[in-house]
Amino acid sequence: MRLDRPLVRLAAALALACSLPAAADAAAVQVGAAITVAEPTPIATILAAPDQHAGKVVRVEGEVSGVCTKAGCWMDLADPAGNRLRVKVEDGVLVFPADAAGRPAVAQGTVTVEELSRDKYVAWQRHVAAEGGPAFDESKLGDGPYRLVQLAGSGASIGGE
């Protein structure tokens, strides 16, 4: 049986075209600088002892559980146990893609720890909720201390798996 070459080429082109969207979805999105720290620091470890990690450059891994919907200036990474760490970048300098939620990600940056008054913490939580973060219910806020533990992000790789 002799194959018609134009039909074979057409079938090959169609197969390639159909596979392109899947390949594009699988590609990682790089935001900012490349990840250079080889070993990840578990999110739970940072949250359990933030003062021991403050000022250190770390690599964290998890699933994107939230992204700033206004400017893409932050994303939350969650580990399998549900521990969350915010990766914050300078507004307008780096932008996390709005469709990153639910995708695996690796981020690198410096751990920051900030003590806040109750009023400032409440204002921050409201701001985060307004930007697409989790809903905030002030009545569930405890007595403190009010600490903001974040990663000042220098780069991230989102998706690609």
Summarize pLDDT for 20-48 with one digit per residue, the tens.
444 444 588 999 999 999 999 999 999 99
CB atoms within 10 A of CB 87: 27
What is the reported pLDDT for 3? 47
Q: Is 9 within a domain?
A: no
Q: Is 8 within a domain?
A: no
Q: Is 6 within a domain?
A: no
Cross-strand pairs, 88: 74, 152
Phi, psi for residue 29 in degrees, rounded to 5 = -105, 120
Q: Is 5 within a domain?
A: no
Locate 109 and state its tokens: 């940056």
Q: How many domains does the chain have?
A: 1
Locate 16 and state its tokens: 């390639």
CB 77 within 8 A of CB 46: no
What is the reported pLDDT for 17? 42
Residues 141-151: what's their mean pLDDT? Answer: 89
CA 8 – CA 30 distance, rounded (Å): 37
First to last CA, the chain: 41
Residues 133-161: what's their mean pLDDT? Answer: 87
What is the pTM (predicted TM-score) of this model? Answer: 0.76
From 101, 104, 113, select the one nearest 40 (Cα to Cα): 104
CA 46 – CA 62 distance, rounded (Å): 13
CATH of residue 105:
2.40.50.140
Summarize pLDDT for 67-112 with one digit per residue, the tens.
988 888 999 999 999 999 999 998 888 999 999 999 999 999 999 9
For residue 128, is pLDDT > 70?
Answer: yes
Q: Is 70 within a domain?
A: yes
How distant, in Å, are the alpha carbons of 39, 106, 118, 125, 142 from that of 51?
20, 22, 20, 21, 21
Q: Is 74 within a domain?
A: yes
How distant, in Å, are the alpha carbons of 36, 63, 73, 101 from that of 91?
23, 22, 5, 19
Q: Is 126 within a domain?
A: yes
For residue 147, is pLDDT > 80?
Answer: yes
Provide the domain limits for residue 53.
27-158
